[in-house]
Amino acid sequence: MFNQLTEKFGVIFKKLSGRGKLTEENVREALAEVRRALLEADVNYKVVKDFLADVETKALGAEVLSSIQPGQLFVKIVYDSLVELLGKNAELIKTAGAPPTMIMAVGLQGSGKTTFCGKLALQYKNKGKRVWLAACDTQRPAAREQLKILGDSVGVKTHLAGEDAVAGALEARQRSLEDGADFLIIDTAGRLHIDEELMNELAKMKTKLKPTEILLVLDAMTGQDAVNVATQFHQKLGLDGLVLTKLDGDARGGAALSVRKVTGVPIKLAGVGEKLADLEPFYPDRMASRILGMGDIVGLVEKAQEAFSQEKAEELAERLRKKSFTLEDFRQQLLEVKKMGPLDSLAGKLPAAFSRGMEAGFDENGLKHTEAMLSSMTPTEREKPHIIDGSRRRRIAKGSGTSVQEVNQLLRQFEQMAKMMKSVSKMGKFKADLLGRLGRF
């Protein structure tokens, strides 16, 4: 989402770092460009004004102006100010003293509210929690049925409200309590715009249900309107947190940088894809790092830890020690990488220079072609690549829908990788080198 903003920040910082010394003049020139970049990203004007004032005060301090590395200090100042703008620490959903913890999801139609409820249910279920869903959106056609399907797909129970949404929520609370549920996630009605009827129903539900938390689900691609929506919901209901969906989209991203500052409500979760597993905690420091082109290496490592089997990793490490890395090993590693999610999502967590390299040389189609070629080989060919002669290469190309040239390229690149792998003895270093090498396929 922040690609354009990241590129513009990169140009600004590069220009400033080329200066031997920071002066008030070149700092203000840089700030003017930062201002333009933020406004073009659809960041709220008042937020931009306060942000620049904060950066300018810090950047024009004596310590910065006299520093031997003024450009780097300026980047650090912008980073710290971005973290403050987004909310210093990650805010997790609190739990009730006595179960079930009730989370009431509110928002306008089209924000991804119902899908978010399914994603959150899956997260808690994967943590071993007993979860119930309450389908209380009585306005949108088939909304209750949609949530029921999502609940079934993740293996949690769903209570379908009748025509009275508030009564349905109370029934869901009672049923989930009797079932010993840890969490009850309530999907509520939305509208295409905020109106009095909607707010009255939600306010009544809050009064009767007394939810542990009320989360507003916002479409990050709606720009400044998301700020207005959040402000009105907060004034009427008293929000506990915000959820930004579609952060994997190609919008300018101004809402994400504005909404927390304007409302004072923390961003707690972020939807980063269409799959039910694509829901992440919102870490302000990591997001600031990504916006400035420094990536989110911690997040990438966490993804890898979730996807990579420790047992398989140890087996592969042993094979490397014995210098027996094969195409079958490589195929298994590709399958492990696929578990980490879409490549564009992974690229977004890498520093800008590396992510651009991935985008240029390692796209989803490239991964599919590589996997197809490996799958078209026999087990013996994957274990003994040296037996793949011309006729075998033609068969592999035909079976995978690729060309002989692509098969040749894969084998050449594998030979290079195998040589590198033979020199690696520690698994930690292997994973880092492997991910880097994969970027060339």
Pick the CATH number of 101-294 from 3.40.50.720, 3.40.50.2300, 3.30.420.40, 3.40.50.300: 3.40.50.300
Query: What pTM was computed for the model?
Result: 0.68
pLDDT for 344 equals 54
CATH 3.30.70.1400, domain 300-438, yes or no: no
- 195-207 per-position pLDDT tens digit: 888 899 999 999 9
- 221-261 per-position pLDDT tens digit: 777 788 888 999 999 999 999 998 887 665 566 777 788 88
Judged on CB neighbours under 10 Å (0-12, 13-18, 19+), 97 is exposed
pLDDT for 71 equals 67
Query: How many Å apart are CA 216 and CA 263, to the nearest integer?
Result: 12
CATH number belonging to domain 3-86 = 1.20.120.140
Query: How many Å apart are CA 191 and CA 172, to the nearest integer?
Result: 23
Sorted by where each begins, the domain ranges of the chain are 3-86, 101-294, 300-438
Mark the ranges of the chain whose per-residue pLDDT is less than 50: 295-301, 304, 307, 349-362, 425-432, 434-435, 437-441
Judged on CB neighbours under 10 Å (0-12, 13-18, 19+), 220 is buried
Report the candidate in 230, 229, 323, 315 with the shortest Cα–Cα distance to residue 268: 230
- In this structure, are residues 284 and 296 in contact, taking their beta carbons and an 8 Å threshold? no
Report the candidate in 103, 97, 140 with the shortest Cα–Cα distance to residue 123: 103
pLDDT for 20 equals 64
